C-alpha cells in the first residue's frame, strides 16, 4: 500500500481535469482575482478574440495604482489614473464584479479575498500577483501567475501546471513574547534562502503554526514566494472555520455545513511523504530584520550587519558586497544603531487589523521622530481601526493615516515613494534594490518593530518598547 496524501496533493487531485501526454495537468480554478494591473491580460484576451468563460468566478479590486490620500485627485499622473479606471472598464465590459476605487470592499487583493470570504479552504485560486500565496493561509492552493495565464484563466476557468514538489516546514514550540509571524517568515527565508523553496509548495505545520491567528498565518503564507515557493499552505482548523463564518461571500445555509465537512478532510495524512522537510524551533526565532537587498538577508534585530569576508561561497560573498554597497552599510554595524529616514506600515503582508493594533500599542502616548505612514489593507480594515480609535493613536503620535492600497510597498502610484538614498523601515515583503523607489533602501520588519523605529528614529528591538522600557 502506498502512503497517504499531503494536503496539497488532495487539493491538486480534486482539481485535476486531465493530464496531458507530456505530463502537464489541466486544473480547474475556483476563484480568480484581478486588480488594476490586469489590463494587459484583457488586451491579450480581446486581441485573440476570446470571451470570459465564468465572469462570476472572478472578482476585482483596485490596489496597485490607487492613491492613498486626497481621493482620485491624489493620483496626479494620467497614465496611472487610467490604470485604476481601466479596471472598472475591463470588469464592466466582461461582467466581472469589481470593487474599484471608492467601493466599500476595495482594498489590497490579498487582504480583501480572505476578509470577504471569497478565499475558501480547498479552493484553487489564482491572481496575476506573486503574493497570491497569501491565500494559502486558509488552506487554499493559491499562486501567482503572469498576464498570459490570467488571460487563459479568464477564457477557460482552468490553468495548465506542472506538478510542483512538496515541502513541509514544521515550527515546533511556542514563540517568545514579541516574536510575530513576520519574524518567523523572515527567519525561515533567512534559513532556506530566497530560492530555497523554488519548485515546491510549502505546507507550514506544527504547534508554532497552530498557535498563530488567521492574520498571522496570512502574513506567513504571503512571503512564501520570497523563498521561491509556488505556494504556501496551512491546513484549515477550527480557527479557519470560525474566521470564515458569516463573511459576506462565505457559504451559508446548507452549503455551510457541507463545506465545513469537506474542509475537515483537508489535512495531510499522517503517513504522507513530503519531498523535503525542514524543522525550526519556534523558540529560536527572534524579532528579525533585513540588512540587504534580498529577503534572505535576514538577521535578529540584536545582531550586527554580517561580514562578507566570513562567507565561504564566492558568489554569495559578491552578492553581499553588492547589497552592502547599495544599502550603504558597513559589516559589523549593530542593526540597532542604523538610523532610518521614514517608516511604512502596510502592504499585503502586514496591513490587517492585528498589524495595526500591534503598531498602535507601541505608538500609544509616544511621538515619532521621523515621517511615518500607516496604510490599512482595505476599506473595512480602515473602518475597523477607526472604530477602535487606532487612527487617533497614529495621528497623535505624528503618523499619517492613509487610505487602503499597495502604496509604498511597490511605489507604483507615483507618489508613495521612498526617495533616492532614503532608508525606510517597512512592513512590506521585498527589499529589492529600487523596489520602494529608485535608490531606496528598505529594511523589512514587523509592524511592532516598524512602529518602534518611528519612535526611535532608528532600528530598535520592539520588545524594549512593549516591556515599557525605552521610549
Partner 1 sequence: MKPVQKIHGLAVGLEIGNVDTDQIVPARYLYRNRSDGFADTLFRDMRFDPEGREHESFPLNGPEAERAAILVTLDNFGCGSSREHAVWALIDAGYQAVIAVSFGDIFRNNAHENGLLPVVLEEHEVMHLLQHVKGGPATLAVDLETQQVTLPDGICFSFDIDSAAHENLLLGRSKIDATHSLRSTIDEFEEAYLGRHPWSE
Give the residue with the Cβ less far from partner 1, 256 or 264. 256
Question: Closest distance between partner 1 and the C-beta of residue 19, in Å?
Answer: 10
Question: Closest distance between partner 1 and the C-beta of residue 21, in Å?
Answer: 8
Place of cell 514566494: 225
23 binds partner 1 (CB under 8 A): yes
Q: Considering only residues 313-372, where is the footprint of partner 1 by CB under 8 A?
A: 315-316, 318-319, 322
3-state secondary structure of 341: coil
Give the residue with the Cβ less far from partner 1, 57 or 392. 57
b/e code 49-80 from CB counts within 10 Å (16+ = b) = eeebeebebbbbbbbbbbbbbeeeebbeeeeb
Stretch that binds partner 1, among 24-32, 66-74, 264-272, 452-460 (CB under 8 A): 24-32
Q: Considering only residues 373-402, where is the footprint of partner 1 by CB under 8 A?
A: none
Give the residue with the Cβ less far from partner 1, 24 or 386. 24
Question: Closest distance between partner 1 and the C-beta of residue 193, in Å?
Answer: 8
What's the rounded Cα separation, in Å, for the pair 123 and 255? 15
17 binds partner 1 (CB under 8 A): yes
What's the rounded Cα separation, in Å, for the pair 383 and 113? 17
Give the residue with the Cβ less far from partner 1, 17 or 72. 17
CB 344 within 8 A of CB 374: no
CB 469 within 8 A of CB 310: no
Q: Considering only residues 401-420, where is the footprint of partner 1 by CB under 8 A?
A: 410-412, 414, 420
b/e code 309-336 from CB counts within 10 Å (16+ = b) = eeeeeeeeeebbeebbebbebeeeeebb
467 binds partner 1 (CB under 8 A): no
106 to 125: interface string for partner 1, x by CB under 8 A: --------------x-xx--
193 to 212: interface string for partner 1, x by CB under 8 A: -xx--xx-------------
262 binds partner 1 (CB under 8 A): yes
The kind and range of the H/E element at 394 are: helix 390-397
3-state secondary structure of 278: strand
Question: Closest distance between partner 1 and the C-beta of residue 448, in Å?
Answer: 26
Q: Which three cell numbers stand for residue 200?
A: 515546491
Q: N- to C-terminal Cα distance for the chain?
A: 62
Count of residues that interact with partner 1, criterion CB under 8 A: 79
Q: Considering only residues 133-172, where is the footprint of partner 1 by CB under 8 A?
A: 143-149, 151-152, 155-158, 160, 162, 164
Question: Closest distance between partner 1 and the C-beta of residue 436, in Å?
Answer: 10
CB 341 within 8 A of CB 423: yes
Please pick, from the candidates 3, 18, 70, 339, the single residue that binds partner 1 as defined by CB under 8 A.
Answer: 18
Question: Closest distance between partner 1 and the C-beta of residue 86, in Å?
Answer: 9
Q: How many CA atoms lie within 13 A of 255 on its CB side?
A: 7
29 to 68: interface string for partner 1, x by CB under 8 A: -xx-----x-xx--xx---x-x--------------x---
Q: Which three cell numbers stand for residue 183?
A: 519574524
Give the residue with the Cβ less far from partner 1, 57 or 458. 57
Give the residue with the Cβ less far from partner 1, 177 or 314. 314
Q: Can you say whether the dihedral through the CA atoms of 34, 155, 9, 266 is positive or negative? A: positive
3-state secondary structure of 48: coil
Q: Which is nearest to 375 in space by CA: 342, 416, 346?
A: 346
3-state secondary structure of 239: helix
Please pick, from the candidates 11, 34, 62, 83, the single residue that binds partner 1 as defined by CB under 8 A.
Answer: 83
Amino acid at each position: 500500500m502506498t502512503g497517504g496524501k499531503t494536503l496539497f496533493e488532495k487539493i491538486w487531485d480534486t482539481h485535476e481535469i486531465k493530464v496531458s501526454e507530456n505530463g502537464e495537468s489541466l486544473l480547474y480554478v475556483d476563484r480568480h482575482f484581478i486588480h488594476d494591473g490586469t489590463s494587459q491580460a484583457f488586451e491579450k484576451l480581446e486581441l485573440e478574440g476570446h470571451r470570459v468563460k465564468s465572469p462570476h468566478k472572478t472578482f476585482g479590486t483596485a490596489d496597485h495604482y490607487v492613491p492613498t490620500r486626497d481621493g482620485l485627485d491624489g493620483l496626479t499622473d494620467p497614465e496611472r489614473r487610467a490604470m485604476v479606471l481601466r479596471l472598472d472598464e475591463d470588469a464592466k465590459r466582461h461582467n466581472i464584479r469589481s470593487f474599484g476605487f471608492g467601493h466599500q470592499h476595495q482594498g489590497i487583493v490579498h487582504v480583501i479575498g480572505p476578509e470577504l470570504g471569497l478565499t475558501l479552504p480547498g479552493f484553487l485560486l489564482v491572481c496575476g500577483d506573486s503574493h497570491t500565496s497569501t491565500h494559502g493561509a486558509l488552506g487554499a492552493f493559491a499562486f501567482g501567475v503572469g498576464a498570459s495565464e490570467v488571460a487563459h484563466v479568464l477564457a477557460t476557468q482552468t490553468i495548465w501546471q506542472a506538478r510542483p514538489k512538496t515541502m513541509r516546514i514544521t515550527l515546533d514550540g511556542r514563540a517568545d513574547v514579541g516574536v510575530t509571524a513576520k519574524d518567523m517568515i523572515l527567519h525561515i527565508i533567512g534559513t532556506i534562502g530566497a530560492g530555497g523553496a523554488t519548485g515546491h509548495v510549502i505546507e507550514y505545520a506544527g504547534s508554532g503554526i497552530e498557535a498563530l491567528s488567521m492574520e498571522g498565518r496570512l502574513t506567513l503564507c504571503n512571503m512564501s514566494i520570497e523563498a521561491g515557493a509556488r505556494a504556501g499552505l496551512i491546513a484549515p482548523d477550527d480557527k479557519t472555520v470560525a474566521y470564515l463564518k458569516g463573511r459576506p461571500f462565505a457559504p451559508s445555509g446548507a452549503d455551510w455545513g457541507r463545506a465545513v465537512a469537506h474542509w475537515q478532510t483537508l489535512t495531510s495524512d499522517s503517513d504522507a511523504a513530503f519531498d523535503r522537510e525542514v524543522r525550526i524551533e519556534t523558540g529560536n526565532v527572534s524579532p528579525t530584520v533585513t540588512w540587504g537587498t534580498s529577503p534572505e538577508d535576514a538577521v535578529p534585530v540584536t545582531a550586527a550587519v554580517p561580514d562578507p569576508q566570513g562567507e565561504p561561497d564566492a558568489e554569495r560573498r559578491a552578492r553581499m558586497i553588492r547589497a552592502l554597497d547599495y544599502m550603504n552599510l558597513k559589516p559589523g554595524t549593530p542593526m540597532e544603531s542604523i538610523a532610518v529616514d521614514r517608516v511604512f506600515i502596510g502592504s499585503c503582508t502586514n496591513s490587517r487589523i492585528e498589524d495595526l493594533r500591534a503598531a498602535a500599542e507601541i505608538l500609544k502616548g509616544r511621538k515619532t521622530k521621523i515621517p511615518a505612514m500607516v496604510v490599512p489593507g482595505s476599506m473595512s480594515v480602515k473602518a475597523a481601526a477607526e472604530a477602535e480609535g487606532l487612527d487617533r493613536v497614529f495621528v497623535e503620535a505624528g503618523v499619517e493615516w492613509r487610505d487602503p492600497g499597495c502604496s509604498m510597498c511597490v511605489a507604483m502610484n507615483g507618489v508613495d515613494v521612498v526617495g533616492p538614498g532614503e532608508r525606510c523601515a517597512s512592513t512590506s515583503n521585498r527589499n529589492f534594490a529600487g523596489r520602494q523607489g529608485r535608490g531606496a533602501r528598505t529594511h523589512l520588519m514587523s509592524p511592532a518593530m516598524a512602529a518602534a523605529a518611528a519612535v526611535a528614529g532608528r532600528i530598535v528591538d520592539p520588545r524594549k518598547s512593549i516591556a515599557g522600557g525605552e521610549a
